[in-house]
Chains A and B, each alone.
Chain A
Amino acid sequence: MALTLKGTQQGILLCPLSESWEEVLQALENALRDAETFFRGSRIILDMGSRELTKENLLALRAVLDRYDIELWAVLSENEATVHTTRAYGLRTRLPGEAASKEASPSAVAEANALVVQRTLRSGQSLKYPGHIVLIGDVNPGAEVIAGGHIIVWGKMRGLAHAGALGDEQAIICALELAPAQLRIAGHIGRPPESRRRKPLPEIARVIENNIVVEPWATRG
């Protein structure tokens, strides 16, 4: 992976991992394209750590983001030169309020914020959020829910759900009744078996060894 993307309250936190800026931009472009309009209108917080961001790097990044209607909002850096370059372009170098946590978490979804929505999602409607989504209501066939983190449906999940849409394989999807047209977690796609069981029960879907596995939500003990 050339980068990680994580939904936070303030924006999408982008941490470049690859040494090559070109690789980072290519990976970003791929992520944006895959998630379609998912990111549209959101803003990016670039976390550079101690590495240097040149003027050219910054402009190239902006060019990519502009194409997807995304704002580069802040650049966090411990590098003097980078801070200087960033300020020259009128970007924030610090986040308002508490400092964004910078330690790389094992799972990008672990700390993401959740969007809580109470309604029925009908055919043709779409709910997208870079963090977790908690939907209190049903997802009808033809509707879609796309989250950077987990998807939790307190109701019937009959449409399309894509959790970990930013590439996080730790993301889960659970619902009181999991009868989706299709489930996606990160880059994995799963369809329910053709024959449906008799009695709906709460289930949880996650990626285990490159497959989406759906299991009943059983109380352990």
Chain B
Amino acid sequence: MAGKIITISSGKGGVGKTTATANIGLGLAMLGVRVICIDADIGLRNLDVMLGLENRIVYDIVNYVEGRCRFRQALVRDKRFPELFMLPAAQTRAKDAVTIEQMINVANEAAQMVDYVLIDSPAGIEHGFRCASAPAEMVLVVTNPEIASVRDADRVIGLLEAEGGSPTRLIINRIKPELVQRKEMLAPEDVVDMLSVDLIGLIPEDPEILAAGNRGQPVVLNNGSSAGQAFLDIARRLQGEDIPFAPLKSQSFFRRLFGSR
């Protein structure tokens, strides 16, 4: 049976698509299922850096599409989990180097090999986004709890619906519970209410994410990280496990509870 093709999208840039792709991909691999992560952001390759696989790239998606290598040759196997592969984007090529048909073929070919194909979509709503979402059976829309990114997520969900498409699930990234408590940040309920899409992940803001991305060691590998745990929960939910959403607590809340400093 072919694997499930899932695209990670957002509309707005910088909300954490690539971070989510890397962490969910690794999370699934940690659960023992086979995954291929495809970087569809041609010309602005990032996923390889997040996964710490940059120096292992030989071929990329454009090379494969142009027939310069075989599919397996273009894949980079993860150094930690043999279940995880990455198909890198081309860094030196233009955005439109891969057509929609080619992307669908690539995704289907990948799905023959593994249980999950995760496609990291570029920002925007143009060709790159259409390419990345065309093969998807499900789209995970990443948003931050702020108005501009919620608006863009809404636009993306609308476009996907108009394409007649695949179901969407929502990931709210970078939640700061203490700001939500002070009503300075949109609460997750407000975001869900506005977008009326089923939630699949609530990721708290975690300074560890930045450092982890720079090191090429996504936070999901870090046992103590609350964001890492939240990403692993998404992987489990994709696998069909019924995992309740952990209430997000601010540190000050814990401090009050336990009286420590």
Contact = CB atoms under 8 A, between A and B. Distances in A.
A124 B157 CA distance: 10
B196 A123 contact: no
Contact of A141 (B154, B159, B162): B154
Given A124-B159, A138-B194, 5 more contacts: A122-B154, A123-B154, A140-B195, A143-B158, A158-B194
A143 B195 CA distance: 13
Contact of A142 (B154, B161, B196): B154
Contacts of B195: 140
Interface string B182-211: 000000000000111000000000000000
Contact of B151 (A120, A123, A125, A138): A123
Given A138-B196, A140-B194, A122 B152 contact: no
Interface string A109-126: 000000000001011110
Interface of B: 147, 151-152, 154-155, 157-159, 161-162, 194-196
Contact of A140 (B154, B159, B161, B162): B154
Interface string A97-136: 0000000000000000000000010111100000000000
Main secondary structure of the interface of A (DSSP, over half): loop
Contacts of A142: 151, 154-155
Nearest to B162: A125
Contacts of A124: 155, 158-159
Counting from the closest, the 10 A-B pairs by CB-CB distance are A122-B158, A123-B154, A123-B155, A124-B155, A122-B154, A125-B158, A140-B154, A123-B151, A142-B151, A120-B196
A124 B155 CA distance: 6
Interface of A: 120, 122-125, 138, 140-143, 158
Interface centre among A120, A122, A142 (most CB of B within 10 A): A122
Contacts of A123: 151-152, 154-155, 158
A125 B159 CA distance: 9
Interface centre among B152, B158, B195 (most CB of A within 10 A): B158
Main secondary structure of the interface of B (DSSP, over half): helix
Nearest to B154: A123
Contacts, number: 30
Contacts of A122: 154-155, 157-158, 161
16 contacts: A120-B196, A122-B157, A123-B152, A123-B155, A123-B158, A125-B162, A138-B194, A138-B196, A140-B151, A140-B154, A140-B194, A141-B147, A141-B154, A142-B151, A142-B154, A158-B194
B139 to A, nearest CB: 14
A142 B149 CA distance: 12
Nearest to A119: B161
A120 B196 CA distance: 8
Contacts of A143: 158
A143 B162 CA distance: 14
A218 B161 CA distance: 36
A138 B194 CA distance: 8
A138 B162 CA distance: 16
Contacts of B158: 122-125, 143
Contacts of B162: 125
A142 B194 CA distance: 12
A44 to B, nearest CB: 29
B142 to A, nearest CB: 16
A219 to B, nearest CB: 26
A124 B153 CA distance: 11
A122 B168 CA distance: 14
A163 B157 CA distance: 26
Contacts of A140: 151, 154, 194-195
A192 to B, nearest CB: 15
Nearest to B159: A124
A163 to B, nearest CB: 22
